[in-house]
Amino acid sequence: MNDAISYDPYAMPADAIQDPPDTLWKAFRKIGPGIILAGSIVGSGELIATTTLGADWGYMFLWLILFSCVIKVFVQIELGRVAISSGKPTLGVLNELPGWRFRVNWQVWWWFFMVLATVAQMGAMVGSVGQALNLAIPGLGRWATQACGGEESALGRILTAHPEHPWAVVTGLAAVVLLLSGGYLMIERLTTFLVVSITFVTVACVIALQWTTKFSISLTDLASGFDFHFPPDAKGGPMPLPKPLPCSA
């Protein structure tokens, strides 16, 4: 039994390996699960964490955001290459690295705790979708409150305080139904549409800001984001408030 089979019992046989695409259109047709992974990531970091960071600190961390975007691309590419060339899954490769071990390598433990945090993150994302849908269509929250006995009941008081909960439940159930349907091609096409739409809307919003007086982005603002420094700690004295990014509006 070779190393690939010992690490991955579902290793792809040699006759199933295809030649890499030689045109851009053929490459787009081979996106596959990668676009689904991108769809699950975009929104939690790129559209929530970075915008919150900009609202709090202005353009100060622009250099750090761009640096992390570049680094993670090459890290993911190299992880994919080593998995393909060795025939071992990424966790199997990480487990062979030197360093502290407790049954498995410390980096595998790090991955495990990251997955646990991701589960909580998924719950936060579902809640965020529920909040957005409740702002757009608040009728479901009011209907659910009345269906549960109104504000006089304990559940009704909870729904009154958190009217986004019904939409969060609907969102979670819709995701479960979509996954149980087993239609991978449908999920891939839907995710592709969502990723392209989010990218287009984000870029369009940035361009539209240039026609505003208060939130337009100047070259001076962008240059201030490449000072390569962090804010001082509490002992460093007061710090002038930075110009907030447009997302703070």
Task: State the DSSP H helix or E strand holding residue 129, giving kind and residue range, or none if neither.
Answer: helix 106-136
Give the model's confidence band at 249: pLDDT under 50 very low, under 70 low, under 90 confident, else very high.
very low
* The pLDDT of residue 37: 67
Between 153 and 240, the higher pLDDT residue? 153
Q: Is 18 helix (H, G, I), strand (E, B) or coil?
A: coil
Q: What's the longest Cα–Cα distance across the chain? A: 67
**What count of other Cβ atoms lies within 10 Å of the Cβ of residue 77?**
10
Q: 3-state DSSP call for residue 164?
A: coil
Cα–Cα dist 65/48, whole Å: 13
pLDDT of 7 reads: 54
| 4-28 exposure pattern, b = at least 16 Cβ within 10 A, e = fewer | eeebeeebeeeeeeeeeeeeeeeee
d(CA 140, CA 246): 31
**The two three-digit tokens of residue 189, written as one number:** 């096409």
The CA-atom distances, in angstroms, between 93 and each of 33, 76, 111, 145, 206 are: 21, 14, 13, 51, 41
Q: φ, ψ for residue 102 (rounded to 5)?
A: -135, 90
Nearest to 126 by CA among 160, 170, 157: 170
In the chain, what is the straight-line distance between the N-terminal and C-terminal CA atoms, in Å? 60
**2-38 pLDDT per residue, tens:** 554 455 565 667 777 778 888 888 877 777 666 666 6
Which pLDDT value is given to residue 47? Answer: 66
Report the distance separating Cα 117 and Cα 68, nearest Å: 19
**Sequence-distant (≥ 6) Cβ neighbours of residue 145 within 8 angstroms:** 151, 156, 159, 160, 163
Q: Residue 47 and residue 59: Cα distance in Å, rounded?
A: 15
Give the pLDDT score at 221.
82
For the chain, what is the mean pLDDT?
Answer: 78
Residue-wise DSSP of 23-81: SHHHHHHT-THHHHHHHHHTTTIIIIIHHHHHHHHTTTTHHHHHHHHHHHHHHHHHHHH
At 103-137, the pLDDT tens digits run 888 988 988 998 888 788 778 778 888 888 888 88
Q: What is the pLDDT of residues 61-97, one digit of tens each?
A: 888 888 887 888 888 888 888 888 887 888 888 888 8
